[in-house]
Amino acid sequence: MMKLFDAHCHLQDPRILSKAPQLIAKAIDTGVVRFAVNGVSEKDWDLVKQMGENYPSVIPCFGLHPWYVADRTPNWFNTLKECLECTPSAAVGEIGLDKGSRGKEIDFTDQIDVFRQQLELAIEFKRPASIHCVRAFGDLLQIMKSMGPFPAGVILHSYLGSAEMVPEFAKLGSYFSFSGYLMSLEARKAKKMLGTVPSERILLESDAPDALPKSELDSLFMVDGDPSIPEELQGHGGNLSSNVGTSSNLSHAIRDASTLPKETLNHPANIQNVLSYVASFLDMTKEELAEISYNNAVHLFSFDGSKLLQEN
């Protein structure tokens, strides 16, 4: 079976936390053997730490996401530093910059300040950092140039930046991680951008419970008990192919995920759909891309103290 490495997800998210054991088990069944689970604020770092202790497959990551910058406590930086000190297997993330609709509400000077401090921690601890960037790629590149290069690597998670910036970011030590959000990019643009990414810098991610791929419904895994999905899709906690074809009451209108409610939860096993989509643009087989992206992630997450090194 193909092995996949989910380079960025949020299995500690309150929307799916109670279902995490089933989600992880199902994803492992489909070949996803690692999950980089990213904290987003002081409130969930403990949960992420516990997850890392409870699941050999989980790589914990601690970070303060730009959306939660305004809620930070005066002691946030010391807490984060302690988390990284006492968890040698942890990476840094999710951190970043956001000028999108939600990011606009958060003071950008504050965002930059918090982001730079966390990047400095990643450099100090020689760990990779997972970066969120929405409509702020120019700012991001400027900051990274002033602080980099980053020999331990950074992950530009759910990368939707331009093809032109790829070489600049790659030069500084960036990896480019792709999620279901790539399917919202115009196909021509996606193909052009993917064509500029060096193969040794490609990663795949689910970003679960967000970024549900806009695929045919019968190829997707649904999260059991997701309140946003129609009743006839409930209770199939796995792949829908068995029931979609036969369910006469399943209206034709919801044959693919783009017609599901925006808040429909994404299952980490749907990284398989991201794999197929990216492979189709790169003229690669799924097997080739799975192997390349898996090896890239293993390389990136094999930092000093990493779980991956402990096992070898």
List residues forming the annotated binding site for a divalent metal cation.
8, 10, 94, 132, 157, 207
Per-residue CA distances from 28 to 21, 31, 71, 188, 230 (Å): 11, 5, 35, 33, 26
Asked whether the beta carbons of 162 and 145 are under 8 A apart, the reply is: no
- One-letter identity of residue 207: D
C-alpha to C-alpha distances, 162 to 11, 91, 230, 262, 266, nearest whole angstrom: 29, 26, 36, 25, 25
Give the Cα separation of 232 and 150 in Å (integer). Answer: 48
**Residue owning tokens 């140039």:** 145
**Which helix H or strand E contains 61, and what residues bound it?**
strand 58-62
Q: Apex CA 64: angle with CA 32 and CA 204, to 5°?
A: 25
Beta bridge partners of residue 36, listed in sequence order: 59
Q: Residue positions in the annotated binding site? A: 8, 10, 94, 132, 157, 207
